[in-house]
Structure 1
Amino acid sequence: MKTLSVKKVLCPDGCSAEQIPALFDAAQIPFQQIDCVNWKDYPYTPDVKFRIAHTGDAILIHYRVTEKSVRAVAPADNGRVWEDACAEFFVQPTDEKKYYNFECNCAGTLLIEYGIPGNREHAPLETVGQVERWASLGRIPFEERLGECSWQLALRIPVSAFFHDKIALLDGKKMRANFYKCGDKLQTPHFLSWNPIDLPSPCFHCPDFFGEIVFESK
């Protein structure tokens, strides 16, 4: 099981999602690869990296992707974003078996759910709207664009987005999590993970295969 230390960064004037890449550069937050090919029927491996930090009251994530094509058809939040060029963060904040999935396509359209595998509850749209997003390709949905494309995505996930838990401060907390890249309806479908998954067919809703993330206090 992989373990990742999540550095605490300071945003004295607050930081928007668009500012996260520059903030991470200044704080020297390193990229991690999402490159586990868990299913031989889907061997394609786009170049996918992410980096993560926190501010105490929010999780900051920056994805950088290069792939054969991109797609952002989902028209609104809590839609079928996993069918698009999609980066995902699944996280289990407590010892309970329930977990959250934050799935965001390359245009910044976001799905948040909570529960156990096979029994998921959509977050209220008001909660989804609290997650600030920046997408290098813009925020307007589009049909699949063929040809190599590089794109970036940044998310600022406030602790209020964990709508079934009361998390006041992230400092010192340990959570189980995994990071994914998929594109179910892209010309070349793929299902990549940060922590490896040992299952016979593609499935990301598998908390038994989450790694661990540890939020630093300073």
Structure 2
Amino acid sequence: MKVKKISVANVDVSALPRLLDEERIGFQPIDHANWKAYPYKPKAAFRIAHTENAILLHFNVKETSVRARYNRDNDTVRTDSCVEFFSIPAADGIYYNFECNCIGTIRVGAGKGCINREHAPQEIITEVQRWSSLGNKPFPERMEKTSWDVALIIPYTVFFKHKITSLNGKMVKANFYKCGDELQTPHFLSWSPIETPRPDFHSPYFFGTLAFE
């Protein structure tokens, strides 16, 4: 998938959806329910672009219930209504997980596998700009159909195990997810399909490819 480069400086994260509209960047579905035990498929999609110094992400979700228990970064946000971006930005096999619940609480880690992953320090995580249509206050599971959006601006400096100065012309392996491990109806969706016996997002072998302009 091609990732468009945008020439813009100092964009406010709350204005990111409008900017991506103006740039005519469309949404890509996160719609692979890879495991028969978890057939529920909320409607989830993402769109992505990049600038000279950051990745721009916008997720849109429509689901039958929504939860935001966690409001401290690096907590287990995957158990809430959560969207995720995993990527391998360099040739050494280290991949990053960016996990964000529906109120913009994020978890960032890095490593070559799911065991012993290194969490990004808080001073790094605060560099990620976030906006959520549901605000930033935690709440218990709401049993009602809900549509929500989150937008993220991820500076290259947040890839804390590397020194990335540009993604121009790069091919990056990545995947995008929608999950809710502890919701009344647990679900595990991916953009690029995954062929493992049980839900496992830490499967870089199944990452798709992003072609950065």
CA deviation digits over 1:46-87, x for unaligned, max 9? 000100000121000000000011111013000010000000
**Which runs of 5 or more residues in structure 2 are unaligned?**
none
Q: Does the alignment pair 1:21 with 2:8?
A: no
Match in the other structure for 1:5: 2
Q: Is the 8 A contact 2:71 2:136 kept in 1?
A: no
- Alignment-mate amino acid for residue 54 of structure 1: H
Partner of 2:63 in structure 1? 67
CA–CA distance in 2 between the matches of 1:175 and 1:165?
14
Unaligned runs of 5+ in 1: none
1:43 to 32, 39, 42: 39
What amino acid sits opposite 2:91 in the alignment? D
Superposed displacement of residue 10, structure 1: 2.0
In structure 1, the residue matched to 2:163 is 166
Distance 2:212 2:154 in 1: 14
TM-score, structure 1 length as denominator?
Answer: 0.96
Q: Per the alignment, in what secondary structure is the counterpart of residue 152 of structure 2?
A: strand
* Secondary structure in 1 matching 2:17: helix
- Residue pair 2:44, 2:178 contacting (<8 A) in 1 also: yes
Whole-Å Cα distance in 2 between the matches of residues 32 and 182 of structure 1?
16
Given the alignment of the two structures, is residue 214 of structure 1 paired with residue 200 of structure 2, yes or no? no
Identity %: 53
Which amino acid counterpart does residue 43 of structure 1 have in structure 2?
Answer: P
* 2:27 maps to amino acid: F
Q: CA RMSD in A?
A: 0.7
Residue deviations 1:178-205, cap 9 Å, x none? 0000000011100000000000000000
1:63-212 to 2 correspondence within 5 Å? 63-117=59-113, 118-212=115-209
Contact 2:85–2:98 under 8 Å retained in 1: yes
Task: Tell me which stretches of 4 or more aligned residues in structure 1 moved more than 4 Å.
Answer: none
| AA at the equivalent of 1:149 | T
